[in-house]
Structure 1
Amino acid sequence: MSPVRTAPAELTAGDAELRTRYLAEVLDLLYPPPCRTDGSPGTPIAEYLVVPDARKPRLLVPTASRRVSAAAVRRYAEPQSRAARLKREAVVAAVRTGASGVLLRDRIRVTGPFSQSIDGHLSEALGRELSVSVHIGPARANRKPVLQLIGPDGDTFGFGKLGTGPLTRRLVRDETAALTALAGAGLTKLTVPQVLYAGQWRDLEVLVQTALPVWLPRAPLSHRRLVAAMLDVAGCCGFTTGPLATGGYWQELRARLAAVSDRPEGVALASAAELLVQRAGDIVFRYGAWHGDWAPWNMANLAGALLVWDWERFATGVPLGFDAVHHELQKRIQSTADARDAVEATVKRSAELLAPFGVPVAGREMTALLYLVDLATRYLTDRQAEAGARLGVLGTWLLPVLIRRVEEL
């Protein structure tokens, strides 16, 4: 499966406009000149249905066959509500029966030399015939084109990511390295994608990974199973121990904080981090690996496997338990309109969340706060606020709770 995030039920007018503009940018990247995406006469490369429409594009569905179109819709993302599932099934039924011409009127026809298109490049690189379905995501600094790769018989066999700028190219390279390392790490409690192809095409960084079978029936996820998987990842590259102030993690984080010290939020973060390290004193922490974005939408629990994807933030040498705190925070943000309350509630649960990871009692709240520093530093480094991300402005939710909690330690 891909790192596709399930979209909210409704789009604001501003988000719709941004998606429309982003769609044009993506098409220019996937089908550069001499390819044309305006329906001009020429050799056909692809044709897409725009779902739900050109004003609010979420998904480009290839029309190679009804079977391919249905697979593109059904395996695009897992709806989070009954209403969303019904809408998805209505679109699947439309493309299967041929009624899509009535319900989905907006189409994009691509013409030109096949060899100059992303379809041609991936077909040659993977050595097989394929159709491409394109996900149009919300505004984020790390937004990148995500491609679902579908065979002629309707099998979704891979997902592709395209790095288009300095940040996303680095993230695609990082995920390639992470998946390569994890392939030989001996993980037993979870399943991760495998790299099918990695390389460059024009100015883009390309990663194609196997499709995890997220369309299979889901099973309830127990807390024990989730923790076991997180511990499996934590130890996949070994463990180290030591006080925070003298460890490699703090040196790396301090360097990242220095890189954002030109902004008031960066200064506030650095001050809070220094105070946090002082309060940690000689507490011995344990360090290992973490997924980096272990959120509910980046995993699927089946009866026989826990599938986890989106490994672009994978890192080693971080305090144990970061994944558990991140998962809790993202789950709370997903279910509440008040992100500040989500941060507060997550920190309050730190003792319970971090106990299975062997974090010393005195260091559990510190670990949760240190995670918040790490996350906030990432937001500033990536310039999420400038990209228009919903939670990009840290002063409205994360920073006030973090600073107050550190001062109260």
Structure 2
Amino acid sequence: MVGDPRERGDGIGWVSRAVFGDERLWLRTARDATSPPAGHRSVARYAVVPSVERAKFLLPLASRRIGAASTLAYNALRPPRVRANRLAVGVLAGLGATRLARMPVLTVAAPTDVDLAELLLTADLSRVAGRPLHAAIGIRPPDPHHKPTLQLFDDRGVAWAYAKVGWNDATRAMVRAEARALHGLPRDVGDLPAAPRLLREFGWRDLAVTLVEPMPAGVRRLPRPERPEVAAMLAVARRGGPAAPARPLAGSAFLADLIARAERAGGPVGAALAALADRDGATRLEFGDWHGDWVPWNLGIHRGRLFAWDWENSGVGRPVGFDLAHQAFQSALSLRGRSVPEAAGEMTTVLDRYGGRLGLDPARRRLVADAYLVELWLRTAELAAAGGGWSGRLHPALLRVLADRLGSSRG
């Protein structure tokens, strides 16, 4: 267990390489805090929760108050089991008793003769903020699509900001897309959901960083997460304004974009897209914005108003109804463990039930469903091309579903 976590191939390994990537930094995980070598000073210590091998979270040990705050913030949004586990860790942190739980300690040290803001993102953020900031760092399994996320707290344990870090081509593009979405999002208009405000977007070394304000402390989980918030979806699509005139799929910028992306991706998706264009080219529908990852775990309620976060997959010029299709498909796939064909079937059922409120007749509902599946496969292919493997849950099953729905070749 003792050693530099950056040398590991697991979750704590890739997060440490992304957040503490400068070779001049000295890192060690051990049972207790470790003294740095000569010429270095300790600049941060974290409890590795629950262990190095199963790391989920780096809990800052700057003070008991900060440690407790980092585990208890937004705990009401989490599933009951996770909520209970984090509450227990928060109590231990507040008592200064993380050692009793045998949590290893990650020590970060820096050379004494180097400006810390050159080496540590949190130090640079502290300099800009004019106050010390401490990061609680989430850990996920290694994946080229995952991003380090830093919850930033001041010395009082008050949440100051939330940072998302893009470290490769795919995640840098996602981080920048979220910044664009939050910057241009209308506020306090009709049924539009509330969202975090963009504080800053910047590059640091080879990283892209989006800094957003913390969510309100009182945000809570949706009381009925299975029920689509159709009015809010429509408000996002129309940016809080009136409906856009319906236009045919043929000749639309949306179809042109899909064709260009399919040509870059290659393979049988081109045949599926050609079949879609041939079948539905004359169908007229409304285009607008979409959130891009509208799912219950990215939504909450605050003071009776819907609150939406994680806008990194948002876009413009998509068929109205894409967010509804996405929620239905992803909820079936991720929450209920359905297969891709089953998730596609549940998506069709949800579109049939709620699509009329979005102006979707049967022909438009069919178009939205199949165009969404094409969009989803292209997104999957683009993420794979930008730095990693395919999603085993979606590929190649999604291509088979598209071929069956559109009567195209499976390749």
TM-score range, shorter chain: 0.7 to 0.9
Q: CA deviation at 1:286?
A: 0.7
The aligned counterpart of 1:194 is: 197
The answer to whether the 8 Å contact 2:18/2:167 transfers is no
Pair 1:213–1:48, CA change in 2 (3 A) = same
Counterpart of 1:350, as a letter, is L
Task: Report the TM-score when normalising by structure 2.
Answer: 0.86
- The answer on 1:286 being equivalent to 2:289 is no
The aligned counterpart of 1:5 is: none
For residues 153-210 of structure 1, give each alpha carbon's deviation from its aligned partner in whole angstroms, at most 9, with x where no partner exists. Answer: 1111211011111121122121111111115694653111111121111111111101
Pair 1:343–1:252, CA change in 2 (3 A) = same
The aligned counterpart of 1:13 is: none
Q: Quote the Cα distance in structure 1 between the aligned partners of 2:386 and 2:268.
A: 16
Q: CA deviation at 1:240?
A: 4.4
- The answer on 1:275 being equivalent to 2:271 is no
Q: CA deviation at 1:121?
A: 0.7
Q: Quote the Cα distance in structure 2 between the aligned partners of 1:247 and 1:157.
A: 43
The answer to whether the 8 Å contact 2:50/2:103 transfers is no
The 10-residue stretch of structure 1 (298-307 or 182-191) with the greater mean CA deviation from structure 2: 182-191
Pair 1:196–1:225, CA change in 2 (3 A) = same
Count of aligned positions: 385
For residues 230-259 of structure 1, give each alpha carbon's deviation from its aligned partner in whole angstroms, at most 9, with x where no partner exists. Answer: 111100186342111111110011111111
Secondary structure of 1:253's aligned partner: helix
The aligned counterpart of 1:115 is: 117
Q: CA deviation at 1:62?
A: 0.4
The aligned counterpart of 1:19 is: 11
Matching residue within 46, 49, 60 for 2:47: 49
The answer to which structure, 1 or 2, has the higher relative contact order (CA under 8 A, 6+ apart) is 1
Q: Quote the Cα distance in structure 2 between the aligned partners of 1:225 and 1:404.
A: 27
The answer to whether the 8 Å contact 1:139/1:389 transfers is no
For residues 76-112 of structure 1, give each alpha carbon's deviation from its aligned partner in whole angstroms, at most 9, with x where no partner exists. Answer: 7667543322222111111111221111431111111
The aligned counterpart of 1:73 is: 71
Q: CA deviation at 1:279?
A: 0.9
Pair 1:174–1:339, CA change in 2 (3 A) = same
For residues 259-283 of structure 1, give each alpha carbon's deviation from its aligned partner in whole angstroms, at most 9, with x where no partner exists. Answer: 101xxxxx22111111111111422
For residues 344-377 of structure 1, give each alpha carbon's deviation from its aligned partner in whole angstroms, at most 9, with x where no partner exists. Answer: 2212432223221102322211211110000100
Task: Report the TM-score when normalising by structure 1.
Answer: 0.87
1:73-112 alignment, distance < 5 Å: 73-75=71-73, 81-112=79-110
Pair 1:165–1:188, CA change in 2 (3 A) = same
Q: CA deviation at 1:388?
A: 4.8
Pair 1:330–1:355, CA change in 2 (3 A) = same
The aligned counterpart of 1:12 is: none
Pair 1:81–1:305, CA change in 2 (3 A) = same
The aligned counterpart of 1:327 is: 327
Pair 1:184–1:83, CA change in 2 (3 A) = closer
- The answer on 1:243 being equivalent to 2:248 is yes
The aligned counterpart of 2:27 is: 37
Q: Quote the Cα distance in structure 2 between the aligned partners of 1:111 and 1:350.
A: 54
Q: Quote the Cα distance in structure 1 between the aligned partners of 2:250 and 2:24.
A: 56
The answer to whether the 8 Å contact 1:351/1:365 transfers is no
Q: Which runs of 5+ in 2 are unaligned?
A: 1-7, 29-33
For residues 36-88 of structure 1, give each alpha carbon's deviation from its aligned partner in whole angstroms, at most 9, with x where no partner exists. Answer: 21352322211100111111111111011111111111237667543322222
The aligned counterpart of 2:263 is: 258
The aligned counterpart of 1:127 is: 130
Counterpart of 2:25, as a letter, is C
The aligned counterpart of 1:152 is: 155
Pair 1:56–1:125, CA change in 2 (3 A) = same
Counterpart of 1:194, as a letter, is R
Q: Quote the Cα distance in structure 2 between the aligned partners of 1:185 and 1:216.
A: 17
The aligned counterpart of 2:3 is: none
The answer to whether the 8 Å contact 2:168/2:387 transfers is no
Pair 1:398–1:50, CA change in 2 (3 A) = same
Q: CA deviation at 1:219?
A: 5.1
Matching residue within 175, 180, 189 for 1:177: 180
Counterpart of 2:247, as a letter, is G
The 10-residue stretch of structure 1 (138-147 or 44-53) with the greater mean CA deviation from structure 2: 138-147
Q: Quote the Cα distance in structure 2 between the aligned partners of 1:84 and 1:289.
A: 33
Counterpart of 2:116, as a letter, is F
Pair 1:73–1:104, CA change in 2 (3 A) = farther
The aligned counterpart of 1:264 is: none
- The answer on 1:355 being equivalent to 2:356 is yes
Q: CA deviation at 1:26?
A: 2.9
Q: CA deviation at 1:288?
A: 0.5
Pair 1:60–1:241, CA change in 2 (3 A) = same
Q: Quote the Cα distance in structure 2 between the aligned partners of 1:24 and 1:383.
A: 22
Q: Percent identity?
A: 29
